[in-house]
Structure 1
């Protein structure tokens, strides 16, 4: 059968392809390679959500691959190793440098230990690398030991002819004093290969002390992506120069007494804020603004707590003022009702909300002019100018936000799974809700999330139209607290009410329709259809709202089609959720949901071999092992094969000439 080409289109593309594969032999070899890859087992995907700065727990979950490495060690060594020995081996893989120091202090025959341990580590590495091509494994190997590790992975001591060869390699590693370096290198390879793709479902930032450490870790990883969360977007807005976002970022850090990310991570100078707060609120007890402190984790003296509370109140009042100014400049957002400083009777110390009058818990507002409540004082303007400058010039913050932009989006579809952080705005009847973004432009569903993503990127493009860019910068505030924001999707953000009104009825934030309808399989199917997600085993995976496990809430909804994996990584949620987060594993045999108990500490894990206690729940298992051919990558590879087959046809029928290699 003769093939026909669109000469203007197909041949132009095939000519470009021929530069990479200049001969029939080259194209044929690549087809063979790609066909083989299609028949490898699917790589393991790892889903995490709502990390909230808890870097120690995050790093440990990455190191142990949510228990995946421990499972492989158990499968490999079974009853041939005692439980304590398997635990020691796992700890060595997670924390090789620190564990080696402890072993060398207690081990009497270190060479014997090296010999046994090196063989065990090679066995684990061989197992975790078995899903990948040699080329992919090679790319993950450290240059110093690449050749040696490749030899050990592909030669075995149970092969009689190669037994001495393998043993001599191991003996020489020890005798040349490279055993420690080799152990560290191969442990890191095991960690990398245990997870093929890491998906973060938003909210790296706020509450915990180490968001910057998490971002540093991610920047040096391959194969990760993120669907932005509301707290990530808040920091993106602060980096872009949205003053309301800057105030919120500082306020939340003070609320949880965690200034490490701001001060140590990004070099933001808070001394001007401290000086202003001590002077302005020196006689104010600032009771409502006392930081939330975990007594097990913090040793903060009373003087520091007092200063945090003063700074907390100072930045909160500035936040309410600046938010009101932005709301009033964008009446299309329909959020001017949240300009609450305009609703206060400053003489009586009361506020009018929704037709009711409430007493304020305190009425000391020295920086507010009752005649113009949202105007910043000259001192506040100067303080805001300094904070703004510190955020927009922070080189490290910009690097981290650029990483979020490079690896992130508002939603993603991977292997029949729809990923987003919080919600898709819905009407009460479950249909997609149209949301206005800019100048009367209304979008819903997939198009809405795409347009919001474009808007976010506009804020960081210096060559954008100045008016459009300023709107995009302002819009970060709507994404943070707007009722129809897919990252918030509540009736209001009751920050002011929680600080100043005792009546908890005013604290209620009514969730959007997505959260009330997400138990419905029909709703899940409707959203999946709207986003073009196909296949019989398709899912929505998101986080945002902590699953209250202690109250019997189930993270698996809509008959298994929606998986909510925010179980509360943040220590601030542990009392509420009763656990310390969920992670989700999607490997070649199906889905496993892992429920984690609170992580003690890295030190405890190293000294005593304690791991995060996890409970694994099988969500969905495949009746056959999934292959690369069953994934999005498989679709891409099949298209590449089809293109290469066309290139072969073009060579063999004279449309193109083969090129001799130089």
Structure 2
């Protein structure tokens, strides 16, 4: 009772009297009867900023769908496309249109018609939210004007001249562009209420930094870390082996500009070392994977190949240190440099000998193959210091930690990037972490705890950060829920032609997730009601071209990695899946490849998307039935306790100092 009164006393500071409590209870109860807001799920972004940006701007086609609902029969397809493009890219599209209008009268007519259309659409979009929530989402500089227009009385007509005068004065005062931008951004923000990012923001594509900047502008989102994200999180935490992996992948996909230009980390020493030590690179293995439209000089390709080879060898040496320190990782099969016959240029793996397709190892001492040369040691120490001291990188990684988790449970959906490690019989795999075995939910919770510890304790001396090695384990360890394979065959792909050695067997999860019983067992393990819950999964591109389905286990599991990364699109046959979950149910959206933002603005080319209903609610879902609704129910219960305390005299009401006679 004492603790309860203490809590209610604190609550009374916010709601000082019966009137304030009653008003808030009425407000919260009303909010719970509103339709459930839209959730937007997106996964495996892989640095493809332009495609990702467009999907976020158009809400996976949700913006155009709302335009069609409001203006059906009144606007033709060209007008709908133009209005949609204005909402996606208001500043650039309006400027482009204005250039084509020759007279002041035409410009005023365009501004007037566009503002009216945005206001009408905006009224439809905000109808499922409270005025308070809408006001908070508005541009504060224009909130008065926007609120007057969006919440205008639609019954009484005697204020029409008032509204017309507002719009005309906005145009006359040359503020129309600002109002159009603010209305468009408000519509974007409210058409999708919450964003879920299921991992792998980094690697392959050219601009993960721009994606992170875009995500940092979102008011409501969560992130489930992917294996590529954790690799960068490890690099930012000071893991040398993670840094080597990051640099190798960037060199392989011609993305070193992200390191140098975006994060301010100099690669001059690495480039100089690579060109000096690996001057000739005759192996195709190290040739960069270039975009079809990329224009490169032969010398640039040669430099990228040299850097890739230099950093790959350094990576293999650093992996020896990590694996030797951690026998519980069970990764000795990844130590291959000592299995090379440097005289015969062959390697023996699992009692079978293979010829090497690249035989140039200038920094390897056959007697001590994992020892770093002086140049390698100096270089990786310098790179580690630069990664630790890069403020732009640390800002992005801090954001990933603040908004991210290993998994998330949201409105009865379990969101994970990779897998829940399973045995062949469907039981949860036991994984040794620091001498203790974990499985299922406990395992993912332990992984998250360790990843947070590693970043909080980041420093140059890896010996003083004992859990840092787990950043590498999460990237390619056999028990990693983010990796989900038994091994990563990086060496074999570079050095051995025989593709049998390239195979990376997957955890049984990826086969067993087709079975409803297995998925329901996983949901129960995480405390999710299996009768209505689902798993939402990323990580593995759905090979739709080969007939693979993204909807598995009788609809209990959805895979939404459809291949934003251009490297995957020839295999997947599409350019990504996203998922929409609103008060009417859940829809899976399939996207075709996106050209570029310039085409989207000038030619009004939208991403071609196809929707598939996953399920449809029999009755429209309300906020009361969501996680937010559960929190509001708890708040209402607390407020009712406070109300009883006021009425019983256990807590005294606070009298307002406001004089009712003074306006």
TM range (shorter): over 0.9
1:162, distance to aligned residue in structure 2 (A): 2.3
Give the C-alpha shift of residue 331 in structure 1.
1.0
Shift of 1:661: 2.9
**1:63 and 2:57 correspond:** yes
Partner of residue 244, structure 1: 241
Q: Which residue of 2 aligns with 1:39?
A: 33
Which residue does 1:533 correspond to in 2?
Answer: 528
What SS does the corresponding residue of 2:590 show, helix, strand or coil?
strand
Confirm or deny that 1:342 pairs with 2:329: no
Cα offsets for 1:513-536 (capped at 9, x unmatched): 100100000011000000000263
- The answer for the alignment partner of 2:448 in structure 1 is 453
Q: Match of 1:653?
A: 648
Corresponding position: 1:312 with 2:305? no
Q: Measure the CA separation in 1 of the matches of 2:349 and 2:645.
A: 74
Cα deviation for residue 443 of structure 1 reads 1.0
2:187 corresponds to 1:193 = no
- Aligned pairs for 1:323-472 (under 5 A) are 323-438=319-434, 440-462=435-457, 470-472=465-467
What pairs with 1:573-652 in structure 2 (closer than 5 Å)?
573-652=568-647
Structure 1 stretch 469-478 or stretch 523-532: which is displaced more?
A: 469-478
Counterpart of 1:173 in structure 2 is: 170
- The CA deviation at 1:286 is 3.9
What's the CA shift for 1:444? 1.0
Distance 1:107 1:467, change over 3 A: closer
Matched residue count: 653
Distance 2:155 2:4 in 1: 52
In 2, distance between residues paired with 1:468 and 1:629? 50
How far is 1:158 from its partner?
Answer: 6.5
TM-score, with length taken from structure 2 = 0.97
Measure the CA separation in 2 of the matches of 1:9 and 1:498. Answer: 63
Contact 1:45–1:195, Cα closer than 8 Å, also in 2: yes
Match of 2:251 in 1: 254
User: In structure 2, the residue corresponding to 1:586 is in which secondary structure?
Assistant: strand
Could you give the per-residue CA deviations for residues 166-201 of structure 1, whole angstroms, max 9, x where no partner exists?
Answer: 111111111111111111111111111111100000
TM-score scaled by length of structure 1: 0.97
- Cα distance, 1:530–1:28 mapped onto 2, change above 3 Å: same
| Post-superposition CA distance 1:524-570 (Å, at most 9, x none) | 10000000002632110010000011111100000000000000101
1:287 Cα offset (Å): 2.6
| Alignment equivalent of 2:219, drawn from 204, 219, 222 | 222
Q: Who is 2:10 aligned against?
A: 16
Change (3 A) 1:463 1:41: same
1:135 aligns to what?
132
- Post-superposition shift, 1:283? 3.0
Match for residue 277 of structure 1 among 255, 274, 279? 274
Shift of 1:8: 2.4
Q: 1:116 corresponds to which residue?
A: 113
Q: CA RMSD in A?
A: 1.4
Measured in 2, the distance between the counterparts of 1:40 and 1:88 equals 31
Tell me if structure 2 keeps the 8 A contact 1:461–1:469: no
Aligned to 1:4: none
The structure-2 alpha-carbon separation of the partners of 1:535 and 1:342, relative to structure 1 and needing over 3 Å to count, comes to: closer
1: CA distance, partners of 2:280 / 2:586: 57
Alignment partners' CA distance in 2, 1:197 and 1:178: 30
Provide the rounded CA distance (Å) in 1 between the counterparts of 2:219 and 2:481: 28
Q: Which shifted more, 508-517 or 255-264?
A: 255-264
Mind listing any 5+ residue stretches in structure 2 that lack a counterpart? 658-663
Q: CA deviation at 1:461?
A: 2.2
Structure 1 residue aligned with 2:660: none
Cα distance in structure 2, aligned partners of 1:293 and 1:141: 42
| Deviations 1:445-498 (CA, angstroms, capped at 9, x unpaired) | 11111111010010122499x999622211101100101100112111001000
On the 8 A contact 1:207/1:570 being kept in 2, the answer is yes
1:83 matched to which residue of 2? 77
